[in-house]
């Protein structure tokens, strides 16, 4: 069975296999549906709203949800429309989370697989490097990243490198709020891969003496072929499980960074930042907590269910 799977699969069969459990399970279909809905809403929703995410009206500050004044989910302390902020914040939150997760999974899997497969001195050095990175104070890592690289001296070469027009909208965005977003990807992605690297390494370490690896080696497969076509697919269960769990953890870390004041630049907001604000306003304006926390938790649960379903599809278990 393992051997059969490790031979690799055709495109078509894999798509079918992934889709099958969705068909079998209602919760998975619901979760996928909800995520698509959220995705569509944050993409095109802001276009349909009467209010901008940064449009303030102090006189309407902290007004509860109402159908009358068009603030369907109420307003925050500055009188900004919560729905607009939720949709706009969702864009940034999802973008940050997805990209950071992809970065961290890419680094973590490659790193862990190499370390585990080559073993010996390579493994020793690579794992000690992970230990070192693990022990560095995260707060200062983020601080140094955010403070030093948000400077124009760093941003301007970046703009030239990307061949953007120096006075164009993209360059403006990078100079202003954009650079924080980019740095957030980098900071979150760069620190989230460590645990995954250890897990993958443990898996590979355990799998590499299996008979099917010997068989592949005997059949003349090269190191990278064995690693990526035989070993990693067999370790994919825990990898997918952990990757899916990385999404919420990245979003929570993003919230924590906002909490430290190093996150996105106001008046932009992420879900994490909105939830944090809502916590403080809980006693006077519960809607400021209920809606952001609700949508954030629901979205993350759905990510979880979908990821879970994918994992099962991959492992071939019901």
Question: What part of residues 79-138 is at the interface with other proteins (CB under 8 A)?
Answer: 119-120, 124, 127-128, 131-132, 134-137
Between 158 and 279, CB nearer to other proteins: 279
Q: Minimum Å distance from CB 132 to other proteins?
A: 5
Between 91 and 201, CB nearer to other proteins: 201
Calculate the alpha carbon distances from 297 to 39, 188, 199, 301, 308 in Å.
15, 20, 26, 6, 16
DSSP annotation of 76:
-
Which of the stretches 67-75, 160-168, 184-192, 273-281 binds other proteins when contact is defined by CB under 8 A?
273-281
Q: Minimum Å distance from CB 140 to other proteins?
A: 5
Which of the stretches 9-17, 34-42, 44-52, 205-213 binds other proteins when contact is defined by CB under 8 A?
205-213
Q: Could you say which of 148, 154, 170, 215 contacts other proteins (CB under 8 A)? A: 148
Q: Could you say which of 78, 107, 158, 186 contacts other proteins (CB under 8 A)? A: 78
Length of the chain in terms of residues written:
318
Q: Could you say which of 21, 108, 189, 248 contacts other proteins (CB under 8 A)? A: 248
Nearest to 96 by CA among 230, 212, 210, 187: 187
CA 172, chain centre distance (Å): 25
Distance CA 151, CA 69 (A): 42
Cross-strand bridge partners of residue 75? 81
Calculate the alpha carbon distances from 243 to 27, 112, 193, 203, 309 in Å.
20, 14, 9, 15, 13
Q: Minimum Å distance from CB 108 to other proteins?
A: 13
């Amino acid at each position: 069975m393992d051997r059969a799977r490790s031979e690799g699969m055709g495109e078509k069969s894999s798509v079918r296999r992934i889709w099958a459990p969705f068909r079998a399970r209602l919760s998975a279909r619901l979760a996928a549906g909800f995520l698509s809905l959220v995705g569509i809403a944050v993409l095109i929703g802001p276009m349909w709203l009467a209010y901008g995410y940064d449009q303030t009206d102090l006189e309407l500050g902290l007004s509860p949800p109402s159908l009358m004044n068009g603030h369907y989910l109420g307003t925050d302390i500055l009188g900004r429309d919560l729905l607009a902020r939720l949709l706009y914040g969702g864009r940034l939150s999802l973008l940050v989370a997805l990209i950071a997760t992809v970065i961290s999974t890419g680094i973590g899997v490659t790193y862990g697989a190499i370390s585990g497969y080559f073993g010996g001195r390579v493994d020793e050095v690579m794992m000690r490097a992970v230990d070192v990175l693990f022990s560095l104070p995260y707060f200062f890592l983020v601080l140094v990243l955010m403070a030093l690289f948000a400077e124009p001296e760093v941003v301007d070469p970046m703009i030239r490198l990307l061949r953007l027009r120096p006075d164009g909208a993209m360059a403006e965005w990078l100079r202003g709020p954009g650079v924080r977003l980019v740095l957030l990807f980098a900071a979150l992605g760069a620190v989230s891969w460590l645990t995954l690297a250890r897990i993958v390494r443990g898996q590979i370490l355990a799998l590499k003496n299996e008979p099917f690896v010997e068989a592949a080696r005997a059949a003349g497969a090269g190191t990278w072929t064995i690693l990526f076509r035989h070993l990693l697919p067999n370790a994919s269960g825990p990898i997918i499980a952990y990757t899916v769990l990385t999404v919420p953890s990245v979003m929570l870390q993003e919230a924590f960074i906002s909490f430290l004041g190093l996150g996105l630049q106001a008046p932009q907001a992420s879900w994490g930042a909105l939830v944090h604000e809502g916590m403080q306003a809980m006693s006077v304006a519960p809607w400021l907590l209920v809606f952001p926390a609700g949508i954030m938790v629901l979205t993350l649960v759905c990510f979880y269910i979908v990821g879970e379903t994918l994992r099962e599809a991959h492992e071939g278990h019901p």
